[in-house]
């Protein structure tokens, strides 16, 4: 490969992705885990504003400490943490995304999907993550969603006083990212 082709290829790669200095979270992120239960149509959300990001240039690893997720009912939160998710043994869930497979906006907005790895209860499973990325004054606002099944992660199906939570859930993530460089 000639030197001019190497320079051209390098330029194209750098133009299609943000600088490799690393991305960090800015502002107020939000993660919502949507769950449904039975009997009837019972829905509830577990919400946290605690999320961490590690960016090694190849992967983005989002980490949520499960003890920070709240459903609005303290007893339900305690049962979820202690009996089902077992946060004493598995304190975090992570979502790992290959940075190079995300369509980053040069101007305006982008949307797409990427296969990532979701780890809950110590078990990795591939998930399809749909996302939109909008340029902001200081960086980018990312909204992403993905389905997952708690049974696939070895989490016992929660059931309490006749209410059973379905294992199929969805996670929604909203974060503002800025270049750390």
| Domain range summary for the chain, segments of one domain joined by + | 20-179
Quote the distance between the C-alpha of residue 142 and its chain's center. 10
d(C-alpha 17, C-alpha 91), whole Å = 32
d(C-alpha 133, C-alpha 112), whole Å = 9
Q: What is the pLDDT of residue 15?
A: 37
Q: What is the pTM of this model?
A: 0.84
- Regions in the chain scoring below 50 on pLDDT: 1-20
Out of 3.40.50.300, 3.40.30.10, 2.130.10.10, 2.40.128.110, select the CATH number for domain 20-179. Answer: 2.40.128.110
Q: How far apart are the first and last CA of the chain?
A: 31
Q: Which two tokens stand for residue 102?
A: 């995300």
């Amino acid at each position: 490969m000639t030197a001019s082709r190497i320079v051209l290829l390098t330029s194209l790669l750098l133009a299609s992705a943000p600088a490799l200095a690393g991305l960090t979270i800015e502002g107020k992120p939000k993660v919502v885990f949507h769950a449904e239960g039975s009997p009837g149509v019972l829905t509830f959300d577990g919400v946290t504003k605690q999320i961490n990001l590690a960016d090694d240039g190849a992967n983005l690893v989002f980490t949520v400490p499960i003890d920070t997720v709240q459903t609005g009912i303290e007893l339900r939160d305690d049962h979820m943490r202690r009996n089902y998710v077992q946060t004493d043994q598995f304190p975090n869930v992570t979502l790992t995304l290959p940075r190079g497979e995300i369509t980053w906006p040069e101007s305006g907005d982008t949307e797409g999907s990427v296969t990532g790895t979701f780890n809950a209860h110590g078990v990795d499973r591939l998930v399809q993550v749909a996302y939109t990325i909008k340029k902001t004054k200081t960086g980018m606002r990312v909204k992403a969603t993905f389905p997952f099944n708690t049974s696939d992660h070895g989490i016992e199906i929660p059931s309490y006083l006749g209410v059973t939570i379905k294992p199929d859930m969805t996670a929604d993530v909203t974060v503002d990212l800025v270049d750390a460089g």
